[in-house]
Amino acid sequence: MKDSIRVFAPATVANVGCAFDVLGFALHEPGDELILKPNFENTVRVISIEGDGGVLSKDPQFNTASVALNAMLTSMGSRQGFDIYLRKKMPLGSGLGSSAASAVAAIFAANEMLEKPLSPSELLPFAMEGERLACGSAHADNVAPSLLGGFVLIPSYQPLIIRTLPVPEGLSAVVVHPEIEVKTRDARDVLRQKISLQSASSQWGRVGGLVASLFTSDFELLAASLDDQIVEPARAVLIPGFYRVKQAALENGALGCSISGSGPSVFALCGPGSDPALVANAMKKAFQEIQIPATAYTSEINRKGPVVLESGD
Amino acid sequence: MKDSIRVFAPATVANVGCAFDVLGFALHEPGDELILKPNFENTVRVISIEGDGGVLSKDPQFNTASVALNAMLTSMGSRQGFDIYLRKKMPLGSGLGSSAASAVAAIFAANEMLEKPLSPSELLPFAMEGERLACGSAHADNVAPSLLGGFVLIPSYQPLIIRTLPVPEGLSAVVVHPEIEVKTRDARDVLRQKISLQSASSQWGRVGGLVASLFTSDFELLAASLDDQIVEPARAVLIPGFYRVKQAALENGALGCSISGSGPSVFALCGPGSDPALVANAMKKAFQEIQIPATAYTSEINRKGPVVLESGD
């Protein structure tokens, strides 16, 4: 076995407008770096965490990376021990799948170290165990795109069904993270638990349109379909300036703009005819105009998922 | 101008399981035949209707064929008159888009007669005017597949967006029409107007899966995605024996089975590995076992839409 491996697992945008809870995609940046080294202690340890501002636990039972890795090793009947060195290179609690990236990085690294006994799809349930720790339920809409790359649709949770969707050539993403806190619980609490059948069926028409647009590189359809009339209006109240930011994105050529995950990050998708840097600057400026500092990322859609950055002997 | 034309417009299955109000597909049979002849009266007349049991109105203001045709001629600024001879070759009030087939047949025939000034998509709004008469609202989920053929998705009504989806090779449909009456109003009234966000998001995951399955000929995904947990359970109570019929379809190899339109017809989709005739017989028998006479149709998905059967000089 190699004596160490350093990997990157990408941040992800879940929900994707109309497709609340069923679609996500991966970014090229930001994301997490993780170094994994085998140990002789028959146990998974979290040795160090950088870039988290001291927030994350190093207790293996309370860190998504170690929880996911332990789930994987237990399932394989392996007693191999590993040491985790985590470098958060993305904001926590940002709605960009921070906990998912850590979990994916750990199990991807271990699978590489063990000479790939499992396929990416087979790794997914273990990454979802990390999400159970982080969110209280085993969501797949961040871990699946982080692990598989591209756009990932989750047609069903019971049983779990996952399908990757094509990425149209020339599609890119902008993500802007404002320095405000949105608690995941608040983001859940603002949602109305009952919605009208009419608004639901309009929404599933748009979800169908969004999926079709990815298969056909139909940017006009993509732009018309992204619109979320159910979750976004409820959650927008938690993000000061959201509608100004969205307007800035659309006025500067974005196909659509909505809340990433449960926020506060805001994402936009751009077609071949628009300039993601221009969109990113306009969105960032809209936050700054109301005195909210913000960080912007522009990225093509990440088709690969996690990658090995460095591999020891 | 030719002195007459005889056309066929197909019956359609709307709703298609999970995709309530946003998806439909066309059948090869049953459907409507319509003969159109120009007249010199500057008006649209319904001269005869066969096969309707005397139910349909010949008043041009109250027949979907003439209403659609008048909407088309008015929009074109044409004062050409036409005589309509309608042959219903499908059951009325069956949930198979009977009113849509008549409307589509009329405007398709007139467009052929006028040497195709309009594309099929341009004809759609006029067919929808026929639906407004028949259903009280301008639905597109029967007229669009009858007019365009294949599977047709309606991602949005405001503005109206229509997209045809691929038909997987080897996919066929079974439709069984039981001789019972389901009033469209009752079919609407049994629907709960509020649904849970969770059931809605599960449903839009399946709609996404269904659309993806058509692009990828993924029959396993299609089978998993067809399931409708919102509308079908409510409407099933209006169709005695529905669950027995559905069970018969699934046990005999159908990918899925649900209510066609607002019922009472029941449709099943079959993949390359199953025998549609076997499925059709089993479904029909399940109705007959509870003393409900039923007619079964098996059909490949109709990719063409309306066709010219005979064209005069």
Tell me the DSSP string of A130-195: HHHHHHSS---TTHHHHHH-SEEEEEEETTEEEEEE---TT-EEEEEEES----HHHHHHTS-SEE
| Position B12 in a domain | yes
**How far is residue A89's CA from residue A143's CA, in Å, rounded to a whole number?**
17
| Position B93 in a domain | yes
Q: Is the pLDDT of residue B209 over 90?
A: yes
**How far is residue B156's CA from residue B23's CA, in Å, rounded to a whole number?**
11
Establish if A243 touches chain B: CB-CB under 8 angstroms: no
B51 in the same domain as B133: yes
Domain with residue A69: its CATH number is 3.30.230.10
Domain with residue A183: its CATH number is 3.30.70.890
A161 in the same domain as A23: yes
Pairing of strands A81-89, A23-39: antiparallel
Dihedral (CA of A216, A221, A227, A230) sign: negative
| Position A99 in a domain | yes
Q: Is the pLDDT of residue B1 over 80?
A: yes
Size of interface A-B (CB pairs under 8 A): 142
Model pLDDT, residue A24 = 98
Pairing of strands B256-259, B266-270: antiparallel
Model pLDDT, residue B201 = 93
A178 in the same domain as A110: no
B85 in the same domain as B144: yes
Establish if A208 touches chain B: CB-CB under 8 angstroms: yes
Nearest to B9 by CA among B73, B84, B78: B84
Please say which residue of A101, A130, A165 terminates a domain: A165
| Among candidates B154, B157, B195 on the partner chain, residue whose Cβ is nearest the Cβ of A197 | B195
| Position B267 in a domain | yes
B139 in the same domain as B9: yes
Ramachandran area for residue B113 (φ above 0: left; ψ -120 to 50: alpha; else beta): alpha
Q: Is the pLDDT of residue A32 over 90?
A: yes
Establish if A233 touches chain B: CB-CB under 8 angstroms: no
Reported ipTM: the value is 0.95
Predicted structure pTM score: 0.96
A58 in the same domain as A131: yes
**How far is residue B131's CA from residue B100's CA, in Å, rounded to a whole number?**
6
Q: Which amino acid is at A33?
A: E
User: What tens digit of pLDDT does each residue of A258-282 get?
Assistant: 999 999 999 999 999 999 999 999 9
A46 in the same domain as A82: yes
| Position A148 in a domain | yes
Q: Is the pLDDT of residue B22 over 80?
A: yes
3-state secondary structure of B307: strand
State the total domains in chain A: 2
Q: How far is B200 from chain A (nearest CA, A)?
A: 6
Which whole number is the average pLDDT over A68-87? 96
3-state secondary structure of A234: helix
User: Do residues A260 and A268 lie in contact, with contact meaning Cβ atoms separated by under 8 Å?
Assistant: no
3-state secondary structure of B111: helix
A11 in the same domain as A73: yes
A182 in the same domain as A160: no
Res. A133 pLDDT band, cuts 50 70 90: confident
**How far is residue A48's CA from residue A138's CA, in Å, rounded to a whole number?**
25
Q: Is the pLDDT of residue A136 over 80?
A: no
Please say which residue of A105, A133, A165 terminates a domain: A165
Model pLDDT, residue B182 = 87
B93 in the same domain as B198: no
**How far is residue A8's CA from residue A6's CA, in Å, rounded to a whole number?**
7
Model pLDDT, residue A138 = 81
| Position B311 in a domain | no
User: Do residues A163 and A211 lie in contact, with contact meaning Cβ atoms separated by under 8 Å?
Assistant: no
| Cβ contacts of B216 on chain A, cutoff 8 Å | 163
Q: Is the pLDDT of residue A91 over 80?
A: yes
Contact A204 B209 (CB under 8 A): no
User: What tens digit of pLDDT does each residue of A210-238 get?
Assistant: 999 999 999 999 999 999 999 999 999 99
Model pLDDT, residue B63 = 95
Show the tokens assigned to A30. Answer: 């930001």
| Position B11 in a domain | yes
Residues 6+ apart with CB under 8 A from B119: none
Q: By percentage, how much of chain B surpasses pLDDT 70?
A: 100
Q: What CA dihedral angle connects B187, B190, B193 and B195, to 10 degrees?
A: -110
Q: Which amino acid is at A214?
A: L
Q: By percentage, how much of chain A surpasses pLDDT 90?
A: 91
**Which of A151, A191, A201 to mutate to test binding with chain B, by most B CBs within 10 Å of its CB?**
A201
Which whole number is the average pLDDT over B135-142? 86
Q: Could you tell me the residue range of the domain that residue B86 belongs to?
A: 5-165
| Position A119 in a domain | yes
Nearest to B227 by CA among B247, B201, B207, B213: B207
Please say which residue of B141, B165, B189 terminates a domain: B165
| Among candidates A201, A211, A225 on the partner chain, residue whose Cβ is nearest the Cβ of B20 | A201
Contact A230 B203 (CB under 8 A): no
B42 in the same domain as B149: yes
A235 in the same domain as A152: no
**Which of A207, A210, A218 to mutate to test binding with chain B, by most B CBs within 10 Å of its CB?**
A207
